[in-house]
Chain A
Amino acid sequence: MASNPVMELEIWKGEWGLPSVDVHCLEVMTYAKFSGTPLKTKITNNPFKTPHGSLPVFQHENECLTKFGEISAYLRKNNHTADFELSPKQCAEAFAYSHLIYEKLVPALQFVWWIDSKNFIEFTRPLYAKLLPFPLNFYYPGQYEKHAKQLAMSLYPEEDDLSVIETAVYRQADECLCLLATKLGEKEFFFGQSPSSLDAVVFAHLAPLLKAPLPSAALQNHLKACTNLTRFVGRVLQRYFPKEIKDQEQAERKITKQESEYSDSEFPNKLRNISIAALISLVAMTAYAMSTGIIQVVPADEGEEED
């Protein structure tokens, strides 16, 4: 592998005001922002050439890493860390809360994204079909769905009915969101005024759930009810990813402008078309009436002029 002096990260594209739609990409990107790492992101949307068949892929010098734990350890070794202000006990807490999220929230996110049939058919599959190049868009969504189902079945081996597993998984996710909301309280970040690795992990898992336009949105509504977590996501986006918010606002403005222009331009045509149609129908009806004798035009003084 060619030695790469610049730290580069291959990611999935972003939508809905987020820098990336994928949780793992967001984890790495947010941690890099928090720790001040000069990370260059490359939107490839292509997991085919990656070592483990998934994005993100972090490359620097001769290192090629894919997991958040490995990447954050590597960045820490190179003196880029977001946890320099934390005490050892707080680092332990950050580690514990990350695992709370991995155990309780990640299965529910997999459910929402890949296993819930309404979301999968109307939202996730079209999204990934749009992002992936041909012909990978026929292969990867199915693979990801299969992995999600395998995770669900392996966590509940004796249960065959997905709806029962779904209820249990969502209940655990609700509990996890409440615990995170309790931990955050009214603070700006989980450990005070400056963000840490835990903030990166929490943001990465909550932001797609909050921003994506999901058809089946039970868990999303529960997250929206935790207002301090919603404000936390908005705060991180505003402070660390302002460009993406601006891009999204511009895109939204463009769409509304196009819609209003379309409806304005329709208006004059409409009136003209209606008046022309009314005139034609009036002429047609009059001609028919005269031809069948319903209306007769009789000149007034015909008899007197002949004499």
Chain B
Amino acid sequence: MRYGAVAVPTSDLHPISSSRVNRPAPKKAFGAESGCHENLSTSSSEMRTQIGKKAHRLPRGHPALEPWPSDVKLYQPYEVEQILLQDQANSLAVQVFLRMCGLEFQVEMRSNAEHMSPSGKLPFIKCGAFVVADLDPIVSFIANKGINLTDHLDAAQKADMRAYMSLANNILGNAELYISWCDENVLNEVTCPRYGSVYSWPLNTLLTWRKQKQVTKKLTALGWITKTLDEVYEDVDHCCNALSERLGNHLYFFNDRCTELDAVVFGHVFTLLTTPLPDNRLASIVRSYPNLVEACQFLEKAFFQKPTANTTDGDSDNFN
């Protein structure tokens, strides 16, 4: 069995919910005629200044307020051979979020997606002249266009939602990084072969070593490097417990309507359940919370499966 091979939510592609955005004929984005790389570099510097600015209302006529174009692309590493746990979780979260909002996009796989991203984080979307990476900036970017999933939440619920998102990203995200890069078994059998699969020797060894150093530095700064594997599993268990308590016996976290939190949790839970690793303790920890698994299955069916007339058994094969 090939470790690390990720299961794909049965693909494509038309979101179930009807689109809420009136999409006019696509305008040529400014600078689109020039090469893709130039476009990305100019818009990445624009995004850098966007990151630095305090959140405020954009002036009318600002290019970010234009309606959602029809040629939006989401870039991520190759799904079958290259992508790792955390990137897969983040990419799925963004994909399901965009589908929840009813926004069309196409997934493009690139071996150097990580280096193309303006902030180094994955996935990133190219929307007209803008390149936005990572879920939070993408959510703000889409909110500027007047689309968001949290209108039905009051201020206290929004605060709760942000707290649970921090919890999921902090614990599940860092646990995925730890297990990919700091556990010798997984590092040698899964991570190194996958990360270096798109490069030839000696580049694959060098780049993997460099990435490992970068991740180790981050985990040291966050205080995760001193944890043992058992402590990491315990933290994941505690986190899943907290999420499961919040979810209760609903399918969504808030008011029976989907929000960014559902997207984030779906990304992590789906990845942890469907990625085969040498030690499957992570998957068994997540599986011990049946309401999380059920919610994840529900979202997969709702947003990733094409409705067919002959569907009798709605369960996906991905979770067995």
User: Does B38 interact with chain A (Cβ within 8 Å)?
Assistant: no
Q: Are B163 and A99 closer than 8 Å at their CB atoms?
A: yes
Known: A97-B163, A100-B162, A171-B54. A92 touches B170 (CB 8 A): no
Q: Are B120 and A52 closer than 8 Å at their CB atoms?
A: no
User: Does B80 interact with chain A (Cβ within 8 Å)?
Assistant: no
Q: Which of B87-119 contact A (CB under 8 A)?
A: 117-119
Q: Which of A89-122 contact B (CB under 8 A)?
A: 89, 91-93, 95-97, 99-100, 102-104
Q: Which residues of A contact B223 (CB under 8 A)?
A: 67
Cβ proximity bits A143-184 to B, threshold 8 Å, 1 near / 0 not: 000010011001111110000100110010001000110110
Cβ proximity bits A38-56 to B, threshold 8 Å, 1 near / 0 not: 0000000000000010000
Known: A96-B160, A167-B52. A151 touches B222 (CB 8 A): yes
Cα(A102)–Cα(B222), bound, Å: 9
Size of the B side of the interface (Cβ < 8 Å), in residues, is 39
Smallest beta-carbon distance B57→chain A, Å: 15
Cα(A91)–Cα(B245), bound, Å: 9
Q: Are B159 and A179 closer than 8 Å at their CB atoms?
A: yes
User: Does B226 interact with chain A (Cβ within 8 Å)?
Assistant: yes
Q: Which residues of B contact A185 (CB under 8 A)?
A: 156
Q: Residues on B close to A: CB < 8 A?
A: 48, 51-55, 117-120, 155-156, 158-160, 162-164, 166-167, 169-171, 214, 217-218, 220-223, 226, 238-239, 241-243, 245-246, 248
Q: Are B245 and A88 closer than 8 Å at their CB atoms?
A: yes
Known: A99-B170, A158-B120. A92 touches B242 (CB 8 A): yes
Q: Are A179 and B162 closer than 8 Å at their CB atoms?
A: yes
Q: Are A158 and B226 closer than 8 Å at their CB atoms?
A: no
Q: Are A154 and B51 closer than 8 Å at their CB atoms?
A: no
Q: Are A95 and B167 closer than 8 Å at their CB atoms?
A: yes
Q: Which of A100, A104, A150, A155 has the most CB of B within 10 A?
A: A100
Q: Are B245 and A183 closer than 8 Å at their CB atoms?
A: no
Cα(A171)–Cα(B51), bound, Å: 10
Q: Are A93 and B163 closer than 8 Å at their CB atoms?
A: yes
Known: A99-B166, A99-B171, A183-B156. A158 touches B241 (CB 8 A): no
Q: Are A95 and B242 closer than 8 Å at their CB atoms?
A: yes
Q: Which of A154, A155, A159, A171 has the most CB of B within 10 A?
A: A154
Q: Are A89 and B246 closer than 8 Å at their CB atoms?
A: yes
Q: Which residues of A contact B246 (CB under 8 A)?
A: 89, 92-93, 96
Smallest beta-carbon distance B120→chain A, Å: 4
Nearest chain-B residue to A164 (Cβ)? B52
8 closest A-B pairs by beta carbon, nearest first, are A92-B242, A154-B218, A96-B163, A151-B221, A92-B245, A158-B120, A100-B166, A96-B167
Q: Which residues of A contact B166 (CB under 8 A)?
A: 96, 99-100, 102-104
Q: Which residues of A contact B53 (CB under 8 A)?
A: 167
Q: Are A158 and B119 closer than 8 Å at their CB atoms?
A: yes
| From A100, A104, A157, A182, contact of B214 by CB (8 A) | A157
Cα(A38)–Cα(B250), bound, Å: 42
Q: Which residues of B contact A159 (CB under 8 A)?
A: 48, 119
Q: Are B221 and A150 closer than 8 Å at their CB atoms?
A: yes
